[in-house]
Structure 1
Amino acid sequence: MFMRMTVVDSIKTTLPKTESAKEFMGFMGEHSQIADKSLAGTLISTLTTIKFDGSRTMHEHVIEMKNIAARLKSLGMAVNENFLVKFILNSLPTEYGPFQMSYNTMKDKWNVHELHSMLVQEETRLKNQGNHSIHYVSHQGNQGARKKFVKKHDKGKKPLKINEASLPIQKKASKGNNCHFCGKSGHF
């Protein structure tokens, strides 16, 4: 049969041999509906979990989410435009927090096209502003740092104890107003 010859070899083995084209098309229609259900589930989970990570542009991110919604609509599962706007806003990172807050405080709602253009503008504003992130690392004294950075070959060894008698001497030297160049007191 000619139609069976046009099907990919990996799928041919799962298809039953039919005598007429009508039977063949009916069988293919049934199997495509089952595949559509699983595809719809995959698309829904992708739409709800996708996050903007900055590896692409905002334009590409919004277009991808709009394409997923269009594919769901073609499968008979239309996504409301307000839901799509919320999904897009929820997919944004924390840098877009002020943008989300300003959207939530406004009384009027944007459609997807307005949101798309606003997000592209916000992306260029953030890039021009220079998004600076500061990672603050702290530790509590030498004990905490020593415990965190123990070498693998030193696991069984105890940390060195500090001689208590030497501490006041070190404190005295650090308290004095000594010159940093010559070491004498009275001037810097």
Structure 2
Amino acid sequence: MDIDYAIRKDEPPVITETSEPDDVDLYERWERSNRLSMMLIKTKISAGIRASVDQHDNVRELLRAIDEQFVKSDKALASTLIIQFSTMRFTGARGVREHIMRMRDIAAQLKSLERRRDY
């Protein structure tokens, strides 16, 4: 079906009356792929993500905007985790083991965010 064609290839020049038949076919193929990809993404992502991302007519631009939204979310999450980790105090109410496990959990979440950023 080549649904991902519009993601893999750049948008071809807009067709005009003087366009070659091959150019028309290429543009129509790209446009169909773009339309189907947009519909698929918009129906599968959550409403919160859909509402936080601007409207786009190009699937590549939409994916780029979604990616940028998650980078911002990852930075906010990392900031929150660092604050939790640095302000965490042992109160003795839950025990040493529980306190250590909570600290290891926060450290593991920070490491996973760092690995995602490196890719």
**What is the distance in 2 between the residues matched to 1:54 and 1:17?**
51
Q: Which residue of structure 1 aligns with residue 68 of structure 2?
A: 30
**Structure 2 residue ranges without an equivalent (≥5):** 1-38
**What is the distance in 2 between the residues matched to 1:61 and 1:21?**
45
Letter in 2 for 1:17: Q
Q: Is the 8 A contact 2:53 2:69 kept in 1?
A: no
Of 106, 111, 115, the residue aligned with 1:73 is: 111
Post-superposition offset of 1:61: 1.5
**What is the distance in 2 between the residues matched to 1:59 and 1:69?**
15
Letter in 1 for 2:78: A
Q: Deviations over 1:47-80 (max 9, x none)?
A: 0111122332322221111111121122229xxx
Of 35, 39, 63, the residue aligned with 2:77 is: 39
**Structure 1 residue ranges without an equivalent (≥5):** 78-188
**What is the distance in 2 between the residues matched to 1:7 and 1:55?**
41
Matched, 1:8 2:46: yes
Alignment of 1:72-151 (within 5 A): 72-76=110-114
Post-superposition offset of 1:17: 2.4
Q: Deviations over 1:81-110 (max 9, x none)?
A: xxxxxxxxxxxxxxxxxxxxxxxxxxxxxx
* Higher helix content, 1 or 2: 2
**What is the distance in 2 between the residues matched to 1:70 and 1:52?**
19
Q: How many residues align?
A: 77
CA 1:48–1:21 in structure 2 vs 1: closer, same or farther (change >3 Å)? same
Post-superposition offset of 1:20: 4.1
Q: Structure with the greater relative contact order (CA < 8 A, sep ≥ 6): 1 or 2?
A: 2
| Structural RMSD (CA) | 2.1
**What is the distance in 2 between the residues matched to 1:53 and 1:7?**
41
CA 1:59–1:21 in structure 2 vs 1: closer, same or farther (change >3 Å)? farther
**What is the distance in 2 between the residues matched to 1:54 and 1:25?**
47
Determine what percentage of the aligned residue pairs are the same residue. Answer: 32
Of 97, 100, 112, the residue aligned with 1:62 is: 100
Letter in 1 for 2:71: Q
**What is the distance in 2 between the residues matched to 1:7 and 1:60?**
36
Q: Deviations over 1:26-61 (max 9, x none)?
A: 111111111111211111111011112233232222
**What is the distance in 2 between the residues matched to 1:58 and 1:12?**
43
